[in-house]
Structure 1
Amino acid sequence: MSEAFCLELYKDKVVVSYYAEKFHGRKTANGERFNMYDMTCAHKTLPFNTIIRVTNYANGKSVDVRVNDRGPFVAGREVDLSKGAAVKLDMIKTGTAKVKIHIVKMGANTKQSAVSAAKAQKIPITPSKGTAAKSQSAKKLVLKSGQLYDIQLGSFSDENNAREYAKKISRAKFKNVALQKSGGNTRVSVIKVDGKDVPSVVKQLEAKGFGNAFVKERKK
């Protein structure tokens, strides 16, 4: 049995892309300099220094990469790989590839297991009397009509990356897209959403490629 089958499956049949010369030498979201030849990648929510194994369905080739940046900022794409990693997957000509992703090692700044981290990426919301949503802290969040909520879609150490992501969400016709400062990070959120509207807004965001929502009750 290969090692891949001993790892926790994170995402299956998702699309990855790669970035290269244009960003070579620029600062990544975790403060490092992007080196397109290193085995690194960008992901919107996985903790920095998480190691993931990406396997190309087209040819069975795999590569282990470390998360050190945020992205991709194109709807429908799960990971942006460095050019070096893309070469190992033999996807330079196609530009994108359909893959499966396993967690090799979670970043040191989280105690989540691979399974709980994967489950935390999306909020299973089903409208009912008292709609319950599972937050990333694994606590139950009851959505109440009349109560306002913020839907966080990403957190960035580089404010420019946050602004670019916010622009993409706004261009997709979503209102009340805001940047929120938290320590040294900048969060991108759709703010002031009524509890009764949260499920439909989350679904609309996911349909446009803006998944990984984190719903928080807005303090009065």
Structure 2
Amino acid sequence: MRLAAAALLLLLAMTMLLAGCGGARTKPYHGEGDRQRPGRTGGAGGDGFRDDLSKSQDSRYRDGSDSVPDDVPDVSKLVEPVPKVEPRSLYGNKSPYTVLGHTYNVLPSARGYDERGIASFYGNKFHGYKTSSLETYDMYGFSAASTTLPLPSYARVTNLENGKSVIVRVNDRGPFHQNRVIDLSYAAAVKIGIWPKGTGLVEVRGIDPAHPAQELPPAAVVPSAHPGIYLQVGAFSDADNAERLAQRLRQANLGDVQVMNADVNGRRVRRVRVGPLADVDRADQVSARIEGMGLPRPQVAVD
């Protein structure tokens, strides 16, 4: 009970708990994963390292930057987690919570969750440190971090560019890098081809073991060599408001701007989107420019 109370005090003293790592034989990681992951806490690792929670996030980890092992794991020999009903973690499920000025709400369950977006991954720097749920992060397991899915929960992540998929157990918070929908463990990234590039376009479908009959139908994802990346800047019921925003974006020369009609809960809305954009790097650049115009952070849409 004393350990639990101490952990609770640490939780209250920190804005967010997230995962960490350290490893021996490594090489630099040049991907586009979340390099600004705040609030990750750690613990004793297999080689005796210990995370000092009194240190700042910039100095907490042994490694200054993320990296990946020299040896790529044979993911065909790794077993995917089997979704099962688990109690909600006592840690990492505070809702709402705010990180880097953005507020997030944790979903009550993974049931019905179906999002497309950009995935990143994390590796050696966080290996062996604690995740937001106070589990130990294992980059060789099939796990993931999400800003909104409850901890723990399960999801199937599919690479939209090659059709490869993996079931992951979500036990961490993140990624808080703009425009990322999920942060995969190193092994999960290797399995679906997000490694070594660092990012990829994915579909994330929640799995709710408590209600298997109510899961979304397992429709096959048809891979595309060039899925379209769009940034949704706003959605309006008033057509004039949508057109005013679209015109402002066109004047900024950010790319093609579209106003698309959509029905949301029986209500007609006009979605203002920029795209398609050439790649993830371009999407990040345009997103930063949009925020620099004083507009809200755009949402990534992949079609």
TM-score, scaled relative to structure 1 = 0.46
- Higher gyration radius (CA): 2
Query: Is the strand fraction higher in 1 or 2?
Result: 1
Higher relative contact order (CA 8 A, sep 6+): 1
